Chains A and B, each alone.
Chain A
Amino acid sequence: MSRRRDLLGVVPFFVFVGIFLIIPTLVVAIGSFLGTDNRVTFDNVTALADGYIVQAFIRSILLSAVTAILGAVIGALLGYAVVTAGPDSTVRRVVTSACGVLAQFGGVTLAFAFMATIGLSGFVTLFLRDSLGVDIFAGGVWLFDLPGLVLVYTYFQIPLMVIVFLPALDGIRPQWREATESLGGSTWYYWRHVAGPLLAPAFLGSTLLLFANAFSAYATAAALVSQGSPIVPLQIRSALTSEVLLGRENIGKAMALGMVVVVAVVMSLYAALQRRTSRWLD
């Protein structure tokens, strides 16, 4: 009886997960195997082998990996600098509040902020061109292509890393460093055998979060890239809304399923890594 009442408490959670996770996933998974006539078909899934879709997946994974690693490394260094400044310092307060804002600063607003700053007639672009004779777009309009996406994504990845990685950095006690040194360990030794192993799981976990964050980002790219669909979320947009190529809604769902698979693979790799590192820690 009491067990049943315990289960009742979990119902809201299941309702929530059902509506926002399970049902959409089922819609995507089932739609991937249906043709436009609602018959079962494998055409949508085999269409994923098309050159341009494979390209989009490669670009998406590259973009996410590069911005995750850049964001993780720079964010971790920034976080470390903040932690050494002391728990109640002004620096720490300013940086953490700024990161809280900037990590959520994405989508259309972010894209337009970049366009207004370093776009074709952005004020920095014009200043560099008119005052210093430097044309940042001499080699092409890179802002509206993959390099531009790397820059803009990194901009929100760094603050996100600071936020998620600070707690782990806070867990490192200065006494451990003192202990290492009094026992004759070098700085290298401390990082290699004490702080490194302690921070590794959190660092990897945060990097993974950053990867997923970039992999699924859509609005920023949609606002920035209007010509061509270099990454998967934009290919899905095209499949759903194109007025030129019709009847591709379910290919869009197959692409979404592909994204789920990619994230699942990354998660399993992460889990395997976690197991390795935990053994290494023991």
Chain B
Amino acid sequence: MRISISRRTALVAVSAVLVALSACSPPSSNNEAAASDAAKAKTAADMGGLDKLVEAAKKEGTLNVIALPPDWANYGEIIKAFTAKYGIKVNSAQPDASSQDEINAAKQLKGQGGAPDVFDLGTAVALANTSMFAPYQVATWNDIPAALKEASGTWVNDYGGYMSIGYDSSKVPAPASVTDLLGPAFKGKVALNGDPTQAGAAFNGVVAAALGNGGSADDISKGVEFFGALKKAGNFLPVDPTSATVESGQTPVVFDWDYLNVAQGAKLKGKVDWKTVVPANAVVGSYYVQAISADAPHPAAARLWQEFLYSDEGQNLWLKGGARPVRADAMKTAGTLDTAAFGALPQVTGTPVFLTEAQTKAANDYLAANWAKVVG
């Protein structure tokens, strides 16, 4: 390298680059007064009623959502229904992203027209980022159990499910319990949806395995031991299951949320006989969280989206996808619940366990330290 150049020129060049870069951020596309009203609105009434909210949202004309796979809790149909009803275009970015990716995107795109308006998050990520959310209470606020919402509406649980085992009944016998999976019939056949140190679904799969293997919500070491034994037996399959792997028979048994396994079965009807079972006495439940971005480029559309999700129509659409909507009990009482869809949900025996924040943290720490040793 025989390039001799004065250091000052290099500095000048680099600082020129820095200036150029800082001048690169495009201005935000929304500077209307109406937008700022919507951004401050904590209920539809603050906007002057639902009709006014719809009007403002239609004026914005667009909604940015992120990390919503079309076959996850029926989001594909929900997005279509929302567009059909209000004529608002929905931009669905990175359908396969993780909850943390949603937060990263909101931080990186802050102030730009393409930033996400709303989030659908796992509990841990949601609780760690409440400063990024705008409080909002939907019209059906009182139907939502107090334990499943933040009092001011900063975040609200939306739908939940139970950890389940999906299996191809033409390839394996029906597993009645978690420990059945250690048998020779399941050699090289059991997959977990993701890595439990990275993905919420996989994390809860380990918790369910702990409950089914003599552990508890306070002690998930038995779950990690179970997967260790599964790996030793040659039954554990380190493949990320997708519709394609299920259809091609690469992943005949999958630990995943019941609504995802049920949707998988519906999708592959006639090709694969995909059944879903919630293991007896190892019932782990978890709700996902809805929140509106405080920096939403389309604040009115973001709020209308929430109103739609928590309306009878939105809740039943989730239910149709096999997810258990947060207003299920109230809607049952009111007679607005889609009972056919509700009856089709997998049967649950035993008391569902919902992890507390402290239990989640302890389990996370245990996994971080031990999962890689056992499976890595």
Contacts and interface: CB of A to CB of B under 8 A. Distances in A.
Contact of A243 (B124, B238, B240): B124
Contacts of A120: 188, 237, 239, 250
Contact of A19 (B10, B21, B104): B21
Contacts of A121: 248-250
Interface string B87-119: 000000000011111001000000000000000
A243 B125 contact: yes
A14 B10 contact: yes
Nearest to A235: B372
Nearest to B127: A246
Interface of B: 3, 5-6, 9-10, 13-14, 16-18, 20-21, 97-101, 104, 121-122, 124-125, 128, 188, 192, 194-200, 203, 231, 234, 237-240, 248-250, 364, 367-369, 371-373, 375-376
A227 B195 contact: yes
23 contacts: A14-B17, A19-B17, A19-B21, A22-B14, A52-B372, A120-B239, A140-B231, A141-B188, A141-B237, A141-B238, A226-B194, A226-B195, A227-B375, A229-B195, A241-B97, A242-B197, A242-B199, A243-B100, A243-B124, A244-B200, A244-B203, A244-B367, A245-B198
Given A52-B372, A137-B188, A242-B100, A228 B250 contact: no
A247 B128 contact: yes
Contacts of B368: 245
A75 interface: no
Contacts of B237: 120, 141
Given A14-B14, A121-B248, A246-B128, A226 B100 contact: no
A18 interface: yes
A229 B239 CA distance: 13
A145 B231 CA distance: 13
Contact of A55 (B9, B364, B367, B372): B372
A238 interface: yes
A11 B10 CA distance: 8
Nearest to A246: B128
Given A144-B238, A243-B100, A238 B198 contact: yes
A49 B147 CA distance: 40
A1 interface: no
Contact of B376 (A23, A228, A243): A228
Contact of B198 (A14, A22, A242): A242
Given A229-B376, A246-B124, A240 B104 contact: yes
Nearest to A243: B99
Contact of A227 (B6, B239, B250, B369): B239
Interface in A42-96: 51-52, 55
A52 B376 contact: yes
Given A243-B99, A244-B124, A245-B368, A227 B17 contact: no
